[in-house]
Amino acid sequence: MRRPSRATLYGADPAHDDLHQFETSWLLSPTILACLRGLISLYIFTTIIVIWVWYGTHDERVEIGQSFSYFTWLTYWGLGFYFLVSAIHTALYARTGRSVLFNRLPRFFRVLHAIFYASITTYPFLVTIVFWGILYSGPFYTIIFPRWSNISQHGLNSFYALLEILLPTTAPHPLIALPVLILLLLFYLCVAYITYHTEGFYPYSFLNTENGKKSGTVAGYCFGILAAILVIFFISWGLIWVRRRISGGKVKRSRRDSAQGRGGFMFRNADEGGCGNEMKSVVV
Q: Is residue 79 part of a domain?
A: yes
Whole-number pLDDT of residue 262: 34
Query: How many domains does one find in the chain?
Result: 1
Does the residue 4 lie in any domain?
Answer: no
57 within a domain of the structure (yes/no): yes
pLDDT at 39: 98
pLDDT at 13: 85
Asked if residue 72 belongs to a domain, the reply is yes
pLDDT at 263: 34
203 found inside a domain: yes
C-alpha to C-alpha distance for 9 and 4, rounded to whole angstroms:
7
Residue 118 lies in a domain: yes
What was the pLDDT predicted at 211?
A: 62
Given this model, what pLDDT does residue 12 score? 84
What's the whole-model pTM score?
0.91
Sign of CA dihedral 189, 190, 196, 201: negative
Is 178 within a domain? yes
pLDDT in tens, the chain (284 residues): 555 667 777 788 888 899 999 999 999 999 999 999 999 999 999 999 999 999 999 999 999 999 999 999 999 999 999 999 999 999 999 999 999 999 999 999 999 999 999 999 999 999 999 999 999 998 899 999 999 999 999 999 999 999 999 999 999 999 999 999 999 999 999 999 999 999 999 999 999 987 665 788 899 999 999 999 999 999 999 999 999 999 998 999 999 998 765 333 443 443 444 444 445 666 66
Contacts of 107 (CB under 8 A, 6+ apart): 7, 12, 14
Domain limits for position 57: 15-283
Is 119 part of a structural domain of the chain? yes
Q: Are 126 and 232 in contact (CB under 8 A)?
A: yes
